[in-house]
Amino acid sequence: MLLSLLFPHVSWPVRCLIRDLRHCTRGLYGQKRAGCSRRGLQTTWTACSSDVTPVFTRALAFGDKIAIVDQNGEHTYRDLFSQSLRLSQEICRVLKCSGRDLKEERISFLCPNDSSYVVAQWASWMSGGIAVPLYKKHPVQELEYVIQDSQSALVIAAEEYVQKMAPSAERLGVPVLPLLKSHSNGSASHTALEEVLLTTNSSWKGRGAMIIYTSGTTGRPKGVLSTHENIQAVTTGLIDKWEWKKEDVILHVLPLHHVHGVINKLLCPLWVGATCIMLPEFSAQMVWKKLLSSQAHRISVFMAVPTIYAKLIEYYDKHFSQPQVQDFVRAFCKDNIRLMVSGSAALPVPVMEKWKNITGHMLLERYGMTEIGMALSNPLHGLRVPGDTAAYKDGVYWIKGRTSVDIIKNGGFKISALEVERHLLAHPHIADVAVIGPPDIVWGQRVSAVVQLRKGEMLSLKDLKDWARETMAPYSIPTELIVVEEIPRNQMGKVNKKDLLRRFYPT
């Protein structure tokens, strides 16, 4: 009632979103309410079931069906369960947990984009712990920050990352547990599942499940705690709205430390018994090869950020120029792929239109936040409204992402200009700096540094990049450097970044 009085012009689904956002606190948020959907814009939530269970509890029902296909081969649901169970036993041995329940101790893990990520995640949950995924491209300082801030009791590292993580873990006084590549004999049984459920008292409701760190757009990244109940609500909501089924095959090319990559692209298919093909890195050539493959595990679902679609279009224009090839691409994608989704940043309308011409697919956009997961979605069937905003009903109310000049959206990442400035001011040659985000057709926005140097000093973009790699995430390092004699500030000492954008990037 109060929301109706405060927001009389706001539609019911939007009031649903505002109401549930009220339950968000700094990282810890409450149960999502029953979803309310109408024709057009939809909320992605469904009513939470009283039966809250992690995704691994469903694995044995799918048995020998292929769950993951990666650079190491094929992995069945039974394989993943067995490997996770063994790792869970190792976790409890290292941490000496009684009753095989860590009681929500945090477990950080660093894995490549393959089945080892799933094993580490499931094993953390089987042990009664909270999973904290790390990002392989983050510098050591950022990884240490997450481990320390989350108060992790253990770091799990895949073989290739053990040497990278060992010194950091030693400095922080946290043990490292290597995750060796292995293929299960598929010996897990329902008895093993019952044992896991019993050790956690079969009560997952209210238990912490995962901590994912924000992009740090308003300061240092903050850990957002999701309970098993939260994750199940978002996952089942997406499954319902996007009509996931066990016959689906999704191609996974995104990082696994954000909601987009973890829930939308991994937990959804695993929940329904579908197959996830995981590439170690994004490659336009490899993605097109997989999308157009008529062999086993034919792709039916694809999700990406706008930058990836722009890169795929670039590759298409360069390599698929013959009319008969273009006709084949369009026909194959229309006939075999049922759903293509874009998210994490605004989708430029030219990219959307070009992609529709190439594949016959109008990309489905959705809106979410680390704090709440996926909240709004264009419909699977019916009219889809373009842009990073979603329109609903009578002409219309708009749900928008943040538009501050201090938030730069680059390739699906939200970058804090203030945080980049903090890092750059540590450079011995820089006296003052303002970071701005000029528009870019491929990346959404670029990271551009307007810099005032100390007297007598010189600095090239290459030198700045080389220096920044030690302390900054790759996507936050400036790709443009503008050196000025002085950065203009007003009487309050503030920089008008809109003026800087107009000055150096006139439209």
Residue type, 4: S
User: Residue 165 has what pLDDT?
Assistant: 96
Phi first, then psi: give them for residue 34, nearest 5 degrees: -60, 140
Domain spanning 55-399: CATH 3.40.50.12780: yes
pLDDT of residue 198: 58
pLDDT above 90: residue 276 = yes
Rounded distance between C-alpha atoms, residue 205 and residue 193, angstroms: 18
Q: What residue spans define the domains of the chain?
A: 55-399, 407-504
DSSP three-state, residue 501:
helix
Q: What is the pLDDT of residue 355?
A: 97
pLDDT digits (tens, 9 = 90+) for 394-442: 233 734 344 477 889 898 888 988 889 888 988 999 988 999 999 998 8
Distance CA 205, CA 31 (A): 10
Predicted confidence at residue 252, as pLDDT, reads 98
Could you report the per-residue pLDDT of 179-197, keeping only the tens digit for each? 987 655 556 666 666 666 6
Tally helices (H) and strands (E) across the chain. 18, 24
Half-sphere exposure of 106 (CA within 13 A, CB side): 19
Do residues 235 and 274 lie in contact, with contact meaning Cβ atoms separated by under 8 Å?
Answer: no
More confident residue, 376 or 321: 321
- Give kind and range of the element (H or E) at residue 409: strand 407-410
The percent of residues above 90 in pLDDT, for the chain, comes to: 62
Pairwise pLDDT comparison (194 vs 283), residue with the higher score: 283
The token pair at 12 is 């019911």
How far apart, in whole angstroms, are the C-alpha atoms of residue 489 and residue 472?
26
3-state secondary structure of 417: helix
- β-bridge mates for residue 368, sequence order: 374
Residue that has been written with the tokens 């790709």 in this structure: 479
31 three-class SS: coil
Question: Computed over its alpha carbons, how large is the radius of gyration of the chain?
Answer: 23
Q: Which residue has the tokens 């649901």?
A: 77
Q: What is the pTM of this model?
A: 0.76
Selection from 5-19, 64-78, 206-220 with the highest mean pLDDT: 64-78
Tell me which fold the domain 407-504 belongs to: GMP Synthetase; Chain A, domain 3 (3.30.300)
503's CB contacts (< 8 A; 6+ apart) are none
| Cα–chain center distance at 394 | 32
pLDDT band at 278 (very low <50, low <70, confident <90, very high): very high
Q: What pLDDT, in 10s, does the model give residues 3-49?
A: 333 333 333 333 333 334 333 333 333 333 333 333 344 544 443 44
